[in-house]
Structures are given as structure tokens and as C-alpha cells.
Amino acid sequence: MSEVSLSRPEFYNNRELSWLEFNKRVLALATDETIPLLERLKFLCISSTNLDEFFEIRVARLKQQVQLNAVQTEVDGMTPLDQLKNIGEVAHAFVDEQYRVLNDVLIPQLADEGIRFVRRTHWNKRQQAWVKEYFEQKVLPLLTPLGIDPAHPFPRVLNKSLNFVVSLEGKDAFGRSSGMAVVQAPRSLPRLIPMPDTVTDGKYDFVFLTSVIHTHVGELFAGMSVTGCHQFRLTRNSELYVDEEDIDDLLIALEDELYTRNFGDGVRLEVADNCPLDTARLLLRQVRLTEADLYQVNGPVNLNRLMTLHSAVDRADLKYQSFVPGFPKPDLRQGDIFESIRQGNILMHHPYQAFMPVIDFVRQAAADPAVLAIKQTLYRTDPDSPLPAALEDAARSGKEVTAVIELRARFDEAYNIQIANRLQDAGAHVVYGIIGHKTHAKMCMVVRQEDDGLRRYIHLSTGNYHPKTARIYTDFGLFSCDEEICKDVHKLFQQLTGLGSALKLKRLLQAPFSLHKTLLKMIRREAKHALEGRPGRIIAKVNAVTEPKLIRALYKASQAGVQIDLIVRGICCLRPGIAGVSENIRVRSVLGRFLEHSRVYYFQNDGKDEIYCASADWMHRNMLRRIEVAFPVRDEVLAARVLREGLQIHLEDNTFSWVLNADATYTRLVPTEEQKPLTSQRVLLKELGDAIELR
């Protein structure tokens, strides 16, 4: 094997730049003519929402490091300042491309379909009168103009809120002539407003709230002349900072901290591209940013608010065709789910197969007098979901209910606090996991009194207990009453709720204790087999690969001759195809209608295949700073399903797959003339869904 140092920076992609490459792939779907038009608009909006969170968390963190004069480098050799500079260059070009796609591609094509954004310069007299009435009745009562003068400093604008900077001439009733004001658009107002058919011939004509306010902003400043009105939006640092070692109650501390999220330090300023530079610079000074943080955009500053168009337009031909999720065998649509599980392990593959059996599992447990206890982890879920409601019912009926709720699930903190309070009020035991380690494992255990004694039933998953995301995220779930796995799950809950040393597990792998070291061991085992002339094979599907020790182990395995395929949706710091280092590693990213979320690990193990489904990505935080679970799929039939549906079908995808190159760029695969186009998600929809013929 080569003695080349595997720590050289050029062997690693920068995490932040790799993420921006991922978001480019999301945006590419907005221009894909094979995708229905309104779905393409959604992909544009998703790319905008993604970028917001990137600035709120990742860029904010880098800015803090620069302020603290941090010069430490990542494995790729970049300092925080280097990263900010590179991010700025890539992000500015990306935002320009977003608005090019909106203005030059999507808006004209939407107009061709009779869906129009009617600009204020094109309003006829009836429309002008309707807009004026709408402004006076629906908008004006909610607006609070904020003049800027020594007695009225620049307002603390909310994170990502829509605002207008207004320049004025003349004096007000008190003789003031500061010449500048800010108008904040209330978040309760829709950003996209449908025009009634009484004023337009089009069925789907819309006006932007920005146009409505811009047209009538002068009514807020009686006796003064508006010389300029320009929209802007400030993105703030949204990371929550709680000293977990110096608090008495994590829930109360997070509730206090949530309010401050709207007023963190500024990290990005977006302004309309017709905003004069001197006005933009004034805004930058007020929010303590530089011109490097300024993004001038040709359109609405909040692209993600266009998402509402998808539900506002009733055009099935411009959306993905609906489908009915399938059910596994045995059919779980009716009958005793516990009896079905006793017949054998049951594998679920969402969203191709229904999430309803997971809900029924908890509901039946809550209603079944033979069930004595229910224990469940909740990382992200919907407060309106039937799952928390079923746990409440179970607790009120006298069952022992334990909920391990991760309050620190980013951007879902408020929902999780709400659910925690409800469950506590119902009499459930609610714990918040382990200080310093987010509880990211997905587990539910039911303890039932049966004729032969107590029996445990479990559900393990790669995804969250969230009925809404289960319709758009791909995930595997396993029902089982296997005694060894159930004992492991019992030990994990005991560890999460109580105190004591780490308990030895027989079947499950757990972070932060056994998962990382076992993965390294299995990678090294494949390398050993390859060096001895036996086949070596690794396939893994995860959302991100960033953990340096795992990457170096994969490099060594590649050098030994192990054939490695990684299906990595998002960030990948590993560089494939480097001569003498990673020429036996291939990396691809699969995107599409559903967000690829399942984590699957496959090791050939000299013909004794090992397949795990997991909650953990191959990142430092998942390996060492979170509570994670990887569960083996030992049943041969189910293991074959996971291998094909979770891995092999994605390696065959030649339409919605991007291949990572050694220079950190991605190339989208296009089927050759000899190849038949294959879209993995489409194949799985046909095979697992309760089949309508897909267009």
C-alpha cells in the first residue's frame, strides 16, 4: 500500500463549499423540463430556504470565529476567513442564478400556462382600484412606519422579515425632515395575493405584497414626498446558545433563548437591485455588515414565500402525479398489528409504503388494555400529529409512558417544547435526553402483557416520527419483537432516562459508544480481505460524509483494493478518484421528488453480508456528539430488499444522479443511446406503491 499521507488538505473537500454544491443540484431541478412546472418552482423555493439556514447557522458560526481571531484550519486547510471569502464568491453567483431561473425561465413558462405575476406597471384601472382598496382594508391597519432620527434609532428588524427602506422629502407635522424611514411588513400578511376574477380575465393572476406596499407607501407619510422605496431583508444568526452545564431546566432555558433567535447578529443583507448603493450602504452600517455581505436581487427578497403558489393553483397537470402508498405483507391496514409483528419482522420503506402502520402501532398500544408501557424518542414531529395525541391518551389511561424529546432539534425547538408540555400535563414521563448529546435515535418500544409473560415490540427507523415528512422523505423502518433487539432497545431507553455506565448491546450499534469504532473496524476488515485476495466491497447511503477518521479509513480501504460506492445526498468531504488514494471510490448524489434521507450501510464481509439501517450520517457530530442507533437487517428477504431498494437501485439511476469528481465538482449523469433511462424513485414508486400508472 502507498505510504502517501492521507492528511494532505488537497484530499478533502471543504464542508461549506460542498454544501453549496449540493444546493446547486437542488436549483438545477428548477430548470429540469422533465419535472412538472409547479414542482420546479418548489425546488427554487427549497434552494432559497436551504440558503437561509446555511447563512443563519454555518456562515454565522464562521463569522463568530473570525471575530474571535480563530485561525484553526479544517482538514481541507481552510481558515474561517478563507471559507467566508470562498462562500461569498460562490453564494453571490448562486443567488444571481436563482433570480435568472425565476425571471428568465419560470415566470415566462408560468405565464404561458395562465399563471401570472401582474406587475404594478401593468395594472389597469380596475386593478389599481382593487389594489388600493386591498391596501386600505387589509394592509394599512397593520403597518407601522418607523421614522429614523435621533429619537427613533434604526429598528431591530426581525430575522428574515420583509422590510422597506423609504427615502422622503419634506417635513412632518413636528418639523422633522430626517429623510429616511423603515416599514416592516407584518408576517401575517401573504406575500402573494390572488386577484379576484372581477378585476382580471385570468384565473390565476397574482400581485406581490411588495408591489401593493410600494404603490401606496406614500399614504403612510402624509404631506411628504416618497423619493425611493426599496425592499430589504436581513438574515441573522439563529443558533441557540444554552450553557447546558449551568442550567436547572433545559426547557425553560430554551424557551427564553428562542425569542432572541429573531434578533441575533446580522449575517446577510438582501436588497432590491434598484436600491441606490448609498442607501444600501446605510443599511449595512446600521446592521454592522460589509459590502461582502450585500446581496442585490432582481425580484422579491424572500423567494421561499413563492412556495404558496403550489397550493394556490389547482392544476394537477403542473404537479407530480398523486400516488397511494403501498402496504407491506402482511397487510397492516386492519387487524392486530402485534399479531402481525409476532409472525415476523416487518420492513417499511417510506414514502413508497404508508406511514400509517407506525401511527397504528402507537394508537393500538395506547388503546390496548394488555399494553403496560410505551417508550418513544421524538426528535422532530408535528404537534398536530396523532402520535403525541396517542401518547397522551395512553398516559391518561394509566399506562407507563416515557417520551425522550430532543428539545434542541434545530428550528423545531418551539414545537418540541409544546409537545413536552402536553405530555407532562397528561402524566407521561418526559426527559430531554443527555446533556451535551442530542438524542437523534428513532425508537419506539411497547411492553405488552401476554399469556406467556411480558413481550416487547419495537419500531426502529432511519427517519423521524413525523407523518408529514414521511410523505416526502425516504426512510426505512423495522417492526420487530426479536428478543435480542428488544433487549438492546430496552437498555438504550434505560440509559437515556437513568444513570449508569454504558450498557453492552448485542445487536444494535450506538453512538457515541460503539457505532464509530465498529464502522472503522468493518472498513478495516474489508481492507484486510482485499489485501488477502478476497473480495472487498462497501456501499453506504447517507446524507453527509465529513468525519475525518472514517474518510481516512475509506482511503486506506481503497488503496487495498476495496470497491466502494457512496450515495451521499449532501455534503461530502471525501474526494473520489485520486490516483493512489481513492481511485476505487465512487460517490454519487441522488435527488428527486423525495428527499433521500435513509441511511444504509453494507459490508460484504467475505460473503457474510452485513446490512445496517441507521439514524446516523457519517459526520463527527453523529458519531461522537449524538445518541444514534444503527440496527442490523438480518432476515435474508428483508436484507435483500434493503440492499436493492436502499442501495443498488440508486447506483443504477442515470437520470437524477450526480457523480462527484476529484476536483469537488459534480456531473449529472445522462443515459447514453444504449442505456434505458432509469429513475430510482420512479421505479420504487411503481414497485411499492398501490399502483396507479405513473405518467
Blockwise average pLDDT, block size 10, the chain, 695 residues: 81 97 98 97 97 95 90 88 96 98 98 96 95 96 85 83 93 72 92 94 94 95 91 89 54 58 85 95 94 96 94 96 86 83 95 95 96 95 90 96 84 81 92 86 97 96 95 97 97 89 91 97 98 96 98 98 98 97 98 97 97 97 95 97 98 98 96 95 92 46
* Per-residue confidence (pLDDT) for residue 1, from 0 to 100: 44
Are residues 365 and 394 in contact, defined by beta-carbon separation less than 8 angstroms?
A: yes
Element (H, E) at 343: none
* Per-residue confidence (pLDDT) for residue 694, from 0 to 100: 46
The rounded distance, in Å, linking the Cα atoms of 473 and 462 is 10
Collapsing DSSP to helix, strand or coil, 310 comes out as: helix
Where in the sequence numbering do the catalytic residues fall? 440
* Per-residue confidence (pLDDT) for residue 414, from 0 to 100: 80
* Per-residue confidence (pLDDT) for residue 406, from 0 to 100: 86
Element (H, E) at 589: strand 585-590
Are residues 443 and 377 in contact, defined by beta-carbon separation less than 8 angstroms?
A: yes
* Per-residue confidence (pLDDT) for residue 382, from 0 to 100: 84
Cβ-Cβ contacts under 8 Å for 131 (sequence gap 6 or more):
120, 123, 207, 211, 212, 215, 216
Long-range CB contacts for residues 604-612, cutoff 8 Å, separation at least 24: 604/526, 604/529, 604/535, 604/536, 604/537, 604/538, 605/522, 605/525, 605/526, 605/529, 606/529, 606/534, 606/535, 607/535, 609/639, 609/643, 610/522, 611/639, 611/642, 611/643, 612/509
Q: Which has the closest alpha carbon to 191: 295, 47, 45, 43? A: 45
* Per-residue confidence (pLDDT) for residue 485, from 0 to 100: 97
* Per-residue confidence (pLDDT) for residue 94, from 0 to 100: 98
Pairing of strands 537-542, 599-603: antiparallel
What is the grid cell recorded at 645? Answer: 431498494
Question: How would you label 334-358 residue by residue, b for 16+ Cβ within 10 Å and e otherwise?
Answer: eeebbebbeeebbbbbbbbbbbbbb
Pairing of strands 294-297, 266-272: parallel
What is the distance of C-alpha 190 from the center of its chain?
24
The rounded distance, in Å, linking the Cα atoms of 320 and 496 is 41
The rounded distance, in Å, linking the Cα atoms of 427 and 393 is 10
What domains sit in the chain, N to C, each tagged with a CATH number?
A: 34-42+108-318 (3.30.1840.10), 337-504 (3.30.870.10), 510-688 (3.30.870.10)
